[in-house]
């Protein structure tokens, strides 16, 4: 079977789960990450026959995709801000919206050189470690409640040669009384309300850690309120606080920040949803 024939069969098998273009991108990721192909290989090998081993690897992956397993769980890595991050069932798969948050922070600090950064609920470490690469002098604290998650964070820090500038902090932020001061505090905490579960796709719902995703309908901003309070001493010293936020709760986020006396700015993601917030004093 040629690559081109395989592309068609692959798209058809996944048609009930992924639109054509997305299925093709997934196949491309599999070829690049599991078969070590280059981007151009995927475009130009169309008439070549796949080897038996290549077929075997792709077919096995296709089976998992049909069970709604995310491609990043199949390959074990996610691409984020130009780097590769190891993922597991204990980490959220880094999202494009989160790349936009990182981009915002970096652009804000082009002429500054932040010395201390804290990423709360770090997961893979994708936010904090990407900032670590962008700001060569910064010390980065990566905090997460889960020990298992921090094992993955640590591996990613090592892969990116950032071990010397990072500190891993295991902390249940809701119980914390204080956090060290930092120039930048950033968090992508759980923010999907239980009532929104019906909108969440099976590949997320069945495979990604609910601990990193969901909050109760009663108090969906619980993490934000707590982090804002903990960040106050940093903000008093000129620090900035950045969040990824729930698109449906931007008004509530504004009230929360105002109530605490914070000044803020909200930003939409590329899909046009209110997705990011910056707070300062």
Asked if 86 and 155 count as a contact pair (C-beta separation under 8 A), the reply is: yes
Residue with the shortest CB distance to ligand GLN = 191
Which residues, in sequence order, are bridge partners of residue 137? none
Asked if 176 and 193 count as a contact pair (C-beta separation under 8 A), the reply is: no
Q: How far is the CB of 255 from ligand GLN (least distance, A)?
A: 20
Strands (E), 135-203: 139-144, 166-170, 184-187, 192-193
94 makes contact with ligand GLN (CB under 6 A):
no
Residue (116 or 188) nearer to ligand GLN, CB:
188
Residue (192 or 276) nearer to ligand GLN, CB:
192
Q: Please choose, from the candidates 277, 201, 207, 244, the residue with its C-alpha nearest in 3D space to the C-alpha of residue 18.
A: 201
| Tokens at 132, concatenated | 């670590």
Encoded one letter per residue, x for contact with ligand GLN by CB under 6 A and - for no contact, window 40-79 reads ----------------------------------------
Of 232-271, binders to ligand GLN (CB under 6 A) are 244
Asked if 228 and 257 count as a contact pair (C-beta separation under 8 A), the reply is: yes
Paired sense of beta strands 116-120 and 240-244, if any: unpaired
CA–CA separation, 15 vs 4, rounded Å? 17
Binding residue (CB under 6 A) for ligand GLN from 95, 154, 165, 254? 95
Binding residue (CB under 6 A) for ligand GLN from 94, 114, 128, 190? 190
Residue (62 or 279) nearer to ligand GLN, CB:
279
Residues of this chain that bind ligand GLN (CB under 6 A): 95, 97, 188-192, 204, 213, 244
């Amino acid at each position: 079977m040629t690559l081109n024939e395989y592309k068609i069969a692959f798209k058809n098998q996944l048609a009930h789960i992924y639109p054509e273009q997305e299925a093709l991108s997934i196949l491309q990721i599999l070829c690049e990450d599991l078969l070590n192909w280059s981007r151009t290989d995927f475009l130009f090998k169309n008439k070549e026959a796949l080897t038996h081993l290549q077929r075997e690897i792709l077919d096995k992956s296709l089976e998992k995709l049909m069970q709604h397993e995310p491609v990043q769980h199949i390959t074990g890595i996610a691409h984020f801000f130009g780097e590769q991050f190891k993922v597991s069932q204990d980490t959220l798969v880094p999202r494009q919206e989160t790349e936009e948050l990182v981009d915002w922070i970096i652009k804000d600090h082009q002429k500054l050189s932040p010395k201390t950064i804290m990423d709360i609920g770090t997961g893979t470490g994708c936010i904090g470690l990407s900032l670590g690469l962008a700001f060569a002098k910064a010390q980065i604290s990566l905090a997460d409640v889960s020990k298992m998650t921090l094992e993955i964070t640590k591996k990613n820090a090592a892969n990116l040669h950032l071990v010397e500038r990072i500190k891993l902090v295991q902390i249940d932020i809701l119980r914390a009384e204080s956090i060290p001061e930092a120039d930048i505090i950033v968090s992508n905490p759980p923010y999907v309300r239980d009532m929104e579960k019906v909108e969440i796709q099976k590949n997320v719902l069945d495979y990604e850690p609910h601990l990193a995703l969901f909050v109760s309908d009663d108090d969906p901003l619980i993490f934000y309120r707590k982090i804002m309070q903990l960040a106050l001493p940093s903000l008093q010293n000129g620090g900035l606080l950045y969040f990824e936020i729930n698109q449906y709760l931007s008004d509530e986020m504004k009230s929360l920040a105002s109530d605490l006396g914070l000044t803020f700015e909200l930003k939409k993601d590329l899909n046009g949803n209110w997705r990011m917030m910056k707070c300062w004093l």
